[in-house]
């Protein structure tokens, strides 16, 4: 399962230290991290540590957080410039929640230039297909109340809202569930 996942416009690549620079640049952006954990931008060392976990996770679970690249040129929008084919636009995948589990969670984090294009929905759909293929039958998705964009993505890819909880990450989050695929 070490192959890239190909979609219409994207390629989800297995985690690699070669992508550290591109991902560290994205996770250094405050607007990307507002609704991730404690809301602070991630250091390069944190991203490097995450990449090591992603590589291990793919080997042990058959799923991970993949690096998401544009596979074709993405045109400029009203609010963002064009994105050239090959550019890393973010990441997306399925991992044990907060790297602890036992539940598995769906994640997606994009560079702001990739927002508003359906990229998260396209990447998440592909990650879920892979999760189905390796036999994962229950997934959760977590999002802050204010992160309406993320909650919309979860709804679009088939998650059911289950209310709010502070069970995971030590903060109050909406949790969503996807079962039985
Ligand atoms: C969460 C996040 C990935 C959502 O991004 P997004 O751009 O809203 O989601 P998508 O990529 O699926 O795009 C959907 C939007 O693009 C629009 N769109 C434009 N062109 C489209 C196309 N060709 N296909 C599909 N949708 C398209 C849709 O109408 C939709 O807009 P709407 O929600 O206003 O109706 C993004 O806000 C992000 O990376 N945030 C920072 C990290 C984060 O918070 N992650 C989630 C943690 S829980």
Ligand 1-lining residues (CB < 6 angstroms):
32, 35-36, 108-110, 115-121, 142-143, 147, 149-150, 152-153
Q: Is residue 159 part of a domain?
A: no
Q: Where are the alpha helices (DSSP H) in the chain?
A: 20-27, 30-33, 44-61, 119-133, 148-156
Please report whether residue 156 resides in a domain.
no
* pLDDT grade for 2, boundaries at 50, 70 and 90: confident
Q: How far is the CA of 60 from the centre of ligand 1 (A)?
A: 30
Task: At 132, give phi and psi (nearest 5°).
Answer: -60, -40
pLDDT in tens, 134-168: 999 999 999 999 999 999 999 999 999 999 999 99
Residue 151 counted as domain residue: no
Q: What's the CA-to-centroid distance between 153 and ligand 1, angstroms? A: 7
pTM passes above 0.85: yes
What pLDDT is attached to residue 11?
98
Give domain status of residue 163, yes or no: no
pLDDT surpasses 80 at 75? yes
User: What local confidence, expressed as pLDDT, does residue 169 receive?
Assistant: 92
Domain that includes residue 41, residue range: 5-136
pLDDT at 181 over 80: no
Number of independent structural domains in the chain: 1
Q: Is residue 175 part of a domain?
A: no
In a domain, 68, yes or no: yes
The SS3 assignment for 88 reads strand
Which of 120, 125, 142, 156 is the pocket-test mutation for ligand 1 (most atoms within 8 Å of CB)?
Answer: 120
103 lies in some domain: yes
Average pLDDT score over residue span 159-179: 96
- CATH code for the domain in which residue 108 is found: 3.40.630.30
DSSP string, 121-156: HHHHHHHHHHHHHTT--EEEEEE-TT-HHHHHHHHH
Asked whether residue 95 is domain-assigned, the answer is yes
């Amino acid at each position: 399962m070490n192959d890239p996942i190909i979609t219409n416009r994207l390629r989800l690549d297995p985690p690699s230290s070669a992508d550290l620079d591109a991902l560290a640049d994205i996770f250094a952006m405050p607007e990307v991290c507002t609704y991730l954990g404690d809301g602070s931008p991630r250091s390069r060392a944190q991203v490097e540590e995450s990449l090591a976990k992603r590589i291990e996770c793919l080997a042990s679970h058959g799923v991970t957080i993949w690096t998401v690249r544009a596979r074709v040129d993405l045109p400029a929008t009203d609010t963002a410039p064009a994105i050239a084919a090959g550019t890393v636009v973010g990441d997306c995948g399925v991992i044990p929640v907060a790297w602890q589990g036992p539940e598995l969670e769906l994640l997606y984090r994009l560079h702001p230039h990739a927002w508003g294009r359906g990229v998260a929905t396209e990447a998440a759909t592909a990650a879920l297909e892979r999760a189905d293929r390796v036999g994962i039958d229950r997934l959760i998705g977590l999002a802050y109340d204010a992160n309406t964009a993320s909650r919309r993505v979860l709804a679009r890819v088939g998650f059911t809202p289950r209310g709010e909880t502070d069970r995971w990450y030590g903060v109050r989050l909406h949790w969503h569930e996807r079962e039985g695929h």
